[in-house]
Amino acid sequence: MAIVRDDSTGLITISTQNTSYQMKIDSIGSLIHTHYGAPIGESDMSPQLFRMIRGFSSNPNETGFTDRAYSLDVLPQEYSCFGTGDYRITSLAVRYENGAKASRLKVQDCEILPGKYGIEGLPAVYGDDNEAQTLKVTLKDEETDLGVELFYGVFSDYDVITRSARIINNSDTTITLEKAASLNFDLPSGSWDWITFYGRHAQERCLSRASVRHGIEAIGSVRGISSHHYNPFSVLCEPTATETAGSCYGFALVYSGEHLMEVERDSIDQTRLVCGIHPDNFSWILKPGESFNTPEVIMTYSHDGLGQMSRNFHRIMRERLCRGPWKHRRRPVLINNWEATYFDFTGQKLLEIADEAESLGIELFVLDDGWFGVRNDDDKGLGDWFPNEEKLGMTMQELTRKITDKGLLFGIWFEPEAISEDSDLYRAHPDWAISIPGRKPAIDRRQLVLDYTREDVRDYIKTCLLKMLDENPISYIKWDMNRSISDKFSHGLDAKHQGEFAHRFVCGLYDVLETIYERHPEVLIEGCSGGGGRFDAGMLYYTPQIWTSDNTDAYDRLRIQYGTSFGYPLSAMGAHVSAVPNHQTGRVVPMHTRGVVAMAGTFGYELDITKLDEGDKAEIREQIKTFHRYYDLIQYGEYYRLSAPEDYCTVWEVAAIDKKEALVSAVYHGIPAYPPAVRVPVFGLDPTANYQIDILDLDEKYAKDYEKLTWQSTHIINGIVMSGAALEHGGITVPPPFFDGIAWQIFIHRLEDG
C-alpha cells in the first residue's frame, strides 16, 4: 500500500518508490508535517520535532496552561491558517460575516481512496486504480463550521505526490476567501537554496538560484496569465545539490493564471513554501453549502540531484497530464509562415511555401496571423474569426483542400481571447472587452482581452472555432494570447464578486479548451502566449506542446530550453529552425546548429523556405530524417543536462528507457582561443554492456574539417567502443570546435554481443 494510516498513533505515511511523506494527527487534532524525503518506512518522525517554550509564540487554547511549548507558530503543518497563532505565511485566510479572519483547523476524518482524485473545472494529473491512490483528510474549524478537504494523489512508480484543497462553507452564513493556497510545505530544519525561473518576453525561464534567507521571498504573476516573468515552478534544494547529487524538492502549479509562490525562513531556521492562486486579485464569496477547489500542485523529491527531480516531472507530465491521441502520436514536422511573411501574404504565396514544404519532407503547414477579418497588421480585426477571402484569393475550404491534396496536414493560428477595438465584434459588443466603466483601459498591441468569465463570450468563441474546425480539415491549432490583462473588471459580475474575476477568467479559458478537445480530440493544439508567457502545467492538460519562446535564436534558445527543462519535458517544447540573420537578435548561426537546437523539442521550421539555397534545402531533408530516426529517443527518453549554457559548450543527452541507446547533443558558442576540452559523462546506460560511438552527419557535413583536426588533436572518438560504466564514470570528450557555432550529435548504441 502506498498510503498507510495508523489509527492508534495518528500517523499517516505515504510511500513512493524512492520517497516517504509523513504527517501526524496530534493530540489536539492538528495535522502536523513530520517528513518528506528519502524512505523511512513507517517510523514516527514526530519526536524529532524540536519543542521548547518560545516567547511571543501563542499556545492554542486547547493546551490550557499545561503545554506552553506547543505553538502553531513553530510546528510544521500540512495546511496553515491565518489569525490563530501561526504568524508565518499561511495557506488560508477567510473573512467571516462578522469581519473576523481567524481560522483553526482540526482533523475530522481521513480516507484512503483508490485512483486519483479529479478537480471539477480545473486541469489535474490523472490515474486509475492500478497506479494511483488518493488520501483525503477532512479538517474543520469548529467555531465557524468551515471545512477543508486536503487531497494527496500518490503515484508510487513516478515518485510524485499531487496536492489540492477544497474549502467548504458548512455554516449558515456567507464567508469570503481572501487566500486559498493549494499547498503548504514545511521543512523543520536545514539550509536551502530556492531555484526560480524569471524572464521577460523572448527571454523566458532564466534560472535564478539563491540561498533562502531569513524573511519572506516570493515570485508570482498578477498579469492574468502565468507570465513570461515568473514561471509557476520552483525548487528547494540543498546548497550543495548538483545535477546528480543532493536533496531536491520540486513544485509545479497546474494553473495558467495569477499565482504566488512564497518562501519564508523563520527566526528558528524553519523553511516554509506556500503555493497557489495569487491573493492580490482574489476574493471568493462562498454562500452556505458552497465550496471552492484550489488548483493542483505536482511535487516530487529526489535524493539524487536536480536531474532526477526533472525526470520525475517529465515523466508524469508526459504520461499523466497530457491527454488524447497526441500524447504518444508522433508530432508532425511543421512549417509556420509567420517569420516568412508576417501579415504580407496571399493564398498563392502560401501555396508556394506548401509546395516547397512537401518537397523537403515537411508534414504540416501552419497558417499564422493575418488570415481573418481586416487584418494586415496587429492594429485591427481580432475577434472577427472569418476568413478574408479577398486577401487569400480563395475560400478557406479551397486553400485547405489544395494544401492537404499535397499530402500535408493543415494548421491555423487563433488568438481567441483577444479583441481589437477596430473590429466588428467590438463595435457590436464593447462590453465583452475587459475594461472598467468610466476608465479608458491600457492598450497593448492595440488590443483588449475578451471577458471569458461570461458564458455568452465563451459561446461566441466556441461557435467560431468549432465552425472552422467542422468545415475544414484542420489538424493543428496554434492558440496564442498576446498581452497581460489590466483594468480587470467584468461587466457580467456585480461589485461584490469582482474579486473572483481573475480566477473565473482562467476557468473560462479551460472551459473553451475543454469544449474544443471534446469535439475535436484529433486536433493538436499548441499553446502560446507571445511565446512562453503561459508555459505551465495547466496548459499541458489541454495543449500537449507549447511554443517555448518567440525568440528563435539558437544561442538564446539553448538557455531558454535549458531553464524550461527543469520542470517540463522536451515533448512539450515547441522549437523551430528560423531564418538568419535571426529576426530577434540579428545573429547568424549555421543551419545544422539551428536544427540540432530545435530537435530538443517538437521540431519545425519558421522561415521562407522558398528562398533557401540548395545546400540549406538538403540540410533540411537530412534534419527531418534525423529527427524521425531519433524521435522516440528524443521525445520519450530520459533527459540529462550535461553542461549549462553559461559554459561555452552546452551539452545535453537523452537516453532510452531500455538503456539501448543515447543521443548526446553539443553546441559550441562564444569559444575562446585554443579552448579546453569539453568532457561529459553519459548517463542512463547499462554499465556492463558495450556501446559504439557514432558522430552523426560526419560523412557529409563535417568529414573533411573533422579530418583536419587530426593535426590539432588526436582525440577522434568516431567508431570507438566503450562500456556503459566507462561512459558514465570516464565520460566522452566532445569533438573540438573548428568554428564558433558548430554543433555535434553523438549517437551511442549498444552492441548486441556487448
Question: Predicted confidence band at 564 (pLDDT cuts at 50, 70, 90)?
Answer: very high
- What's the one-letter identity of residue 344? D
Give mean pLDDT, residues 58-69.
85
Confidence of residue 705 (pLDDT cuts 50, 70, 90): low
Sequence letter at residue 742: I
pLDDT band (50, 70, 90) for residue 718: confident
Strands 364-367 and 409-414: parallel
pLDDT tens-digit profile of 368-424? 999 999 999 999 999 999 999 999 999 999 999 999 999 999 999 999 999 999 999
DSSP letter, residue 80: -
Whose CA is closest to 148, among 196, 92, 87, 190? 92
pLDDT band at 717 (very low <50, low <70, confident <90, very high): confident
Domain ranges of the chain: 94-316, 325-547, 640-750
pTM of the model: 0.97
Second-level CATH architecture of 325-547 = Alpha-Beta Barrel (3.20)
Which three cell numbers mark 205? 525561464
Provide the terminal-to-terminal Cα distance of the chain, rounded to the nearest Å.
39
398: left (phi over 0), alpha (psi -120 to 50) or beta: alpha
C-alpha cell at position 86: 501561526
For residue 536, which of 502, 506, 491, 567 has the smallest C-alpha distance? 567
* Contact status, residue 278 vs residue 259, Cβ threshold 8 Å: yes
Mean pLDDT computed over 454-465: 98
Rounded Cα distance between 111 and 137, Å, is 6
Across 59-68, 149-158, 292-301, least confident range: 59-68
- Among 1.20.1440.230, 2.70.98.10, 2.120.10.30, 2.70.98.60, what is the CATH number of 94-316? 2.70.98.60
Catalytic residue among 186, 480, 553, 616: 480
d(CA 478, CA 458): 18
Q: Is 480 a catalytic residue?
A: yes
Q: What architecture is domain 640-750?
A: Sandwich (2.60)
Locus of grid cell 511573411: 341
Amino acid in position 649: C
Q: What pLDDT sits at residue 451?
A: 98
Of 64-78, 313-327, 590-604, 694-708, the range with the lowest mean pLDDT is 694-708
Give the integer Cα–Cα distance in Å for 57 and 742: 61
**pLDDT tens track for 430-457:** 999 999 999 999 989 899 999 999 999 9
Confidence bin at 427 (pLDDT 50/70/90): very high
The region of weakest confidence among 45-59, 525-539, 722-736 is 45-59
For every residue of 527-568, DSSP letters joined together read: E-BTTBTT-SHHHHTT-SEEE--S---HHHHHHHHHHHTTTS
Distance from C-alpha of 256 to C-alpha of 540, rounded to nearest angstrom: 10
Asked whether the predicted pLDDT for residue 698 surpasses 80, the reply is no
Determine whether 73 is an active site residue: no
**Choice among 86, 451, 550, 553 that is catalytic:** 550
CA pseudo-torsion sign 706, 635, 305, 192: positive
pLDDT value at 711 more than 50? no
Average of per-residue pLDDT across 538-555: 98
Residue 200 exposed, middle or buried by CB count within 10 Å (0-12, 13-18, 19+): exposed
Quote the mean pLDDT of the chain: 95
Rounded mean pLDDT, 204-225: 98
> Please, are residues 205 and 560 in contact by the beta-carbon 8 Å criterion?
yes
Report, as an integer, the average pLDDT of 305-333: 97
Nearest to 579 by CA among 610, 614, 546: 610
The percentage of the chain sitting over the pLDDT mark of 90, rounded to a whole number, equals 92
| Per-residue pLDDT band at 714 (split at 50, 70, 90) | very low
pLDDT per residue over 628-663, tens digit each? 999 999 999 999 999 999 999 999 999 999 999 999
